[in-house]
Structure 1
Amino acid sequence: MKYISTRGGGTPQSFEQVLLTGLAPDGGLYVPVELPSFSPEQIASWRDLSYVDLALAVISPFIGDALQPDELKRIITESYADFGHPEVAPLTALREHEYLLELYHGPTLAFKDFALQVLGRLLDHVLAKNDQRVVILGATSGDTGSAALEGCRHSDRVDIFILHPHQRVSEVQRRQMTTVPGDNVFNLAVEGNFDDCQRIVKAAFSDQSFLPDDRQLVAVNSINWARILMQIVYYFAAALRLGAPDRQVSFSVPTGNFGDIYAGYLAKQMGLPVDQLVVATNQNDILHRFISNNDYSKTQLSKTYSPSMDILVSSNFERYLFDLFGRDSAQLTDFMLRSSKERLSVSESQWQAVQAIFDSASVSDETTCRVISETAAELGKLLDPHTAIGVESGRLTRKNPQVPMITLATAHPAKFSEAITVAGLDLPELPAHLADLFEREERYSVIANDLGEVSAFISAALGQQA
């Protein structure tokens, strides 16, 4: 399997090369040259597989000969061994034909663990093989940071720097990052929003001259293809439990950076019988406006009770647009360059193609808290605010009540005390391994919203280790 940049530059890359970079040199994102296609018979044969064996079946075509099958299975097995549920990603019923796919049983209580536990071990394997050391640089709107730190902190071949927007993540999210021990772990609170953090990260990847000659940057955000790859698996797992491939299912996905819903789109392209893919957003609704009104324009960022979706520029949307534009890199590049300056739309036929794949909804803070409160009262289930937005969006957009609607429950409610409190509910306890989180010492640096400041910090930190 080879990978190409959405912007059209460079030569096709191997899985290992893509893993160790993230962002292409031309500023594009890597995508497979072609997707594997799974027949209904092949999908049906996976019904009795464990989650680990299903993951092996789904992702092996993308990895090729980069790892031997037994080595890949070992990595996947170790990655999910400490998840807090034997099914790894359990499916629970809310109402008739309405389900939650619980993706918060990993070590940091968020869906990011599914990819980043694997990514950390894949990096360890490749770096050891190449006798190499790298610098991990990531931006987080809340959950990626802690999941990346947890997945990579034990490696003696990485130094990891995570940028988060200062005072724009929940306290639990912040403490999950800033209490991680290790001389190779650095948390930077940027005086800006998540889009600023993401912009700095992308700019750093484009000019890595601030690094020592023997180092390179590796991405842990979903710009790294390996992140997307591991998220495809749980779409297959959920659908198989509800009768796929003989029965269609729909998914409602809380969406910030478009990575999770893009994984669902890929699953559908690979043969999974998906009826609806619902993009569920908060007031920061650029994706909803594009899908519903062909309006791709930036507005002011709103701070909401669902901070992981407080994003204006969804990085992974570029990967989908690449397909929408018929894999025309020139058209895609022109669109992306203009998107930061003007209101954009696509052609009528392209917009119809978007609407044939995606539905969408935007849910306010008030409605989010109402859904949390009502779900707890009526069904005895406590939702985090992102999941509540997913549940409500699925209900608002549902076309066929007989087709199961699966909402991706992306995080544990204990991570978002503000929304739970406003909903009038008692805060749930953190799991045992995080019970003393508020007693742990925090370590982080507040830094200006400036690429030069961040680059200088990284350079100085690495210099002190030399």
Structure 2
Amino acid sequence: MHYLSTRGGVTSIGFADAVTMGLATDGGLLVPAELPRVDAATLRAWSQLSFQELALEVFTPFVGDEIPREDLRALIDRSYAGFSHPEVTPVVEAGGARILELFHGPTAAFKDVALQFLGNLFEYLLARDGGEFNIVGATSGDTGSAAIYGVRGKAGIQVFILHPKGRVSPIQARQMTTVLDDNVHNIAVEGTFDDAQRIVKTLFSDLPFKRSHHLGAVNSINWARILAQMVYYFYAWGRVSGGDPERAVSFSVPTGNFGDVFAGYLARRMGLPVRRLVIATNRNDILTRFVDSGIYAAESQVHRTLSPAMDIQLASNFERYLYFLHDGDCARVRALFEGLREHGRIELDAERHARVRADFDARAASDAETLEQIRASYEHDGYICCPHTAVGVHAARGMDDAVCLATAHPAKFNEAVEQAIGRGAPLPSSLQGLMEREQRCVDLPATVEAVKSEIERTLAATGAGA
């Protein structure tokens, strides 16, 4: 399997290079040159597999012969050994809905599914090929802690995570800032997630800086993140359908950066029987407006909501979707993003917009609707949704075939939960005692120069990345 950039400046690189490159050197995102097709017989067989066995089968065609199969199996087994549920991502009937629980990893969020694997993959590639790796990422809440837990203490790796100061939940912040391993560096930027994401993309676009400091990405711009997230769509379908290729399933996906729902889109293109993919957004509804109108345009500000991990205006993985929507026309993708930079919007023609409407449904939920859904799910049978999950459940109302992705444990957002039901969710063991632990974090203005200087200073002090 080879990979190329959505903007055409990178072609025919292998899986390992795609993973370590992160953001393509031409500013685009890396995608597979082709997608494998899964036939009915394979779907039936895959529906009987454990999560780990299924991950091996899904990963194999994308990895090719770059990692021996037994090594890949060992990486997968090690990545999911620490999950608290034996199924890793179980499907449960609860709260009046069908829920795909993605929060049984070490940081109680869906990002663990990809980032536990990615951390082990980085370690494997460094041990095999030599060198060092300095990870820089931005987080709206859960990516940061999942990335930190994926690489903490690993040899040859330093990790710098930017989060918007005061715009993640208290538990989310503590999950990052209380990890005191020498290779972990937290930066709170005085701005929004979009500011943090812009800084990271600018650093990766500065090719001399990226190369000299051996920068790597853990955000969903990294292809391995998307690959790992594809697995649980196949897994959930198998558990719901009984392995019947004639039975399609819909998915409702709380969406901010577009990576999670894009993984579902690719799974469907591979042959997974998916009826509808629902993009569920909060007040920051750029993607809902895009599906409805064919126009992608950010509002003047990011709105703070009860589902802060979705408080995003510009979705990183949207570019990958536009590449497929335009049938791999890299020149067209470049032109669209030049227009976005110059005019602040992308507008599709009627034919492309019709294709978008065929690919996705999209529904937005207000904070009031989010609280009402948390309350309704709890009153149904005592099941507590986190506010992001509640947005997805709300968006799936009236869809009897829908699986709703539960993206985080509700205890990570107990302020919203308490508003809805008058009590907080019990803390899982991984979150207990966080608020009393020592913290380490640097506050910086939301500028590229400030963050670049901090990275250079830290790497000089550690002797890494120079």
TM-score band by shorter chain is over 0.9
Letter in 2 for 1:238: A
Say if 1:208 and 1:217, in contact at 8 Å, map to a contact too.
Answer: no
Is the CA contact 1:195–1:312 (under 8 Å) kept in the aligned structure 2?
A: yes
Find 1:372's aligned residue among 367, 374, 380: 374
Structure 1 moving runs of 4+ over 6 Å: none
Q: Distance in 2 between matches of 1:460 and 1:114?
A: 32
Structure 1 distance, partners of 2:275, 2:363, is: 17
Q: Give the SS at the match of 1:162.
A: strand
CA drift at 1:428: 1.8
Question: What amino acid is aligned across from residue 115 of structure 1 in structure 2?
Answer: A
Residue 360 of structure 1 is matched in structure 2 by 362
Amino acid at match of 1:333: R
| Distance in 2 between residues matched to 1:236 and 1:229, nearest whole Å | 12
User: Contact 1:291–1:360 at 8 Å: present in 2 too?
Assistant: yes
- Counterpart amino acid of residue 410 in structure 2: P
Query: Shift in Å at residue 417 of structure 1?
Result: 1.9
One-letter amino acid of the structure 1 residue matched with residue 363 of structure 2: A
Deviation (angstroms), 1:379: 2.1
CA contact 1:210–1:459 (8 Å) conserved in 2:
no
Distance 1:49 1:414 in 2: 31
After superposition, residues 28-427 of structure 1 pair within 5 angstroms as 28-94=28-94, 98-210=97-209, 213=212, 215-243=213-241, 244=243, 245-299=245-299, 300-340=301-341, 341-395=343-397, 398=399, 401=400, 404-427=401-424
Identical columns (%): 49
Give the superposition deviation at 1:211. Answer: 6.5
CA contact (8 A) 2:102 2:110 kept: yes
Would the aligned equivalents of 1:210 and 1:456 in 2 still touch at CA under 8 Å?
no
Aligned residue identity for 1:167: G
**AA partner of residue 218 (structure 2):** V
Alpha-carbon separation, structure 2, partners of 1:438 and 1:38: 46
Look up the equivalent residue of 1:233 and give its one-letter code: V
Match for 1:459: what amino acid?
E
Structure 2 partner of 1:452: 449
**8 Å contact 1:279–1:358 — kept in the other structure?**
yes
What CA RMSD, in Å, does the superposition of the two structures yield over aligned residues? 1.3
Counterpart AA for 1:33: A
Q: State the secondary structure of the residue aligned to 1:416.
A: helix
Describe the shift of the 1:95–1:163 C-alpha distance in structure 2 as closer, same or farther (beyond 3 A).
closer
Deviation at 1:209, TM superposition (A): 3.8
In the aligned structure 1, how far is the partner of 2:118 from the partner of 2:363? 31
Could you tell me how far 1:356 is from its partner in structure 2? Answer: 0.6
Shift of 1:295: 2.3
**Which deviations, in whole Å up to 9, do the C-alpha atoms of 1:101-125 show, x marking residues without a partner?**
0000000000000000000000001
Q: How many Å separate the matches in 2 of 1:394 and 1:211? A: 42
For residue 461 of structure 2, what is the amino acid of its counterpart?
Q
What whole-Å deviation, never above 9, does each CA across 1:327-383 have from its counterpart, x for those lacking one?
A: 111111111122243333201010000011100001000110011011111221000
Cα offset for 1:208? Answer: 4.7
User: Hey, what's the Cα distance between the residues in 1 that align with 2:178 and 2:137?
Assistant: 17
Cα distance in 1, alignment partners of residues 410 and 277 from structure 2: 24
How far apart are the structure 1 equivalents of 2:133 and 2:75? Answer: 20
**CA distance in structure 1 between the partners assigned to 2:368 and 2:168 by the alignment:** 19
Given residue 271 of structure 1, which amino acid in structure 2 is its aligned partner? Answer: G
In the aligned structure 2, how far is the partner of 1:318 from the partner of 1:115? Answer: 20
Shift of residue 212, structure 1, vs aligned partner: 8.2
Q: 1:327 to 1:242 in 2, by over 3 A?
A: same
Number of positions where the alignment pairs a residue of Structure 1 with one of Structure 2: 459
Following the alignment from structure 1 to structure 2, what is the Cα–Cα distance between the partners of residues 129 and 440? 36
Structure 1 position 131, deviation (Å) = 1.4
Give distance in 1, aligned partners of 2:127 and 2:153: 13
Separation in structure 2 between the aligned mates of residue 173 and residue 305 of structure 1, nearest angstrom: 13
- Determine the C-alpha separation between the residues in 1 that align with 2:416 and 2:247: 36
SS of residue matched to 2:296: coil
Q: Offset of 1:11 from its aligned partner?
A: 2.7
Quick check: 2:95–2:377 contact (8 Å CA) kept in 1? Answer: no
Letter in 1 for 2:312: I
3-state SS of the aligned residue for 2:159? strand
Counterparts of 1:30 and 1:391 in 2: how far apart (Å)?
31
Residue 207 (structure 1) shift:
1.2
Question: What is the TM-score of this pair, normalised by structure 2?
Answer: 0.96
- Check conservation: 1:168, 1:193, Cα contact below 8 A: yes
Q: Which runs of 5+ in 2 are unaligned?
A: none
TM-superposed CA distance for 1:50, in Å, is: 1.1
Equivalence map 1:6-45=2 (5 Å): 6-45=6-45
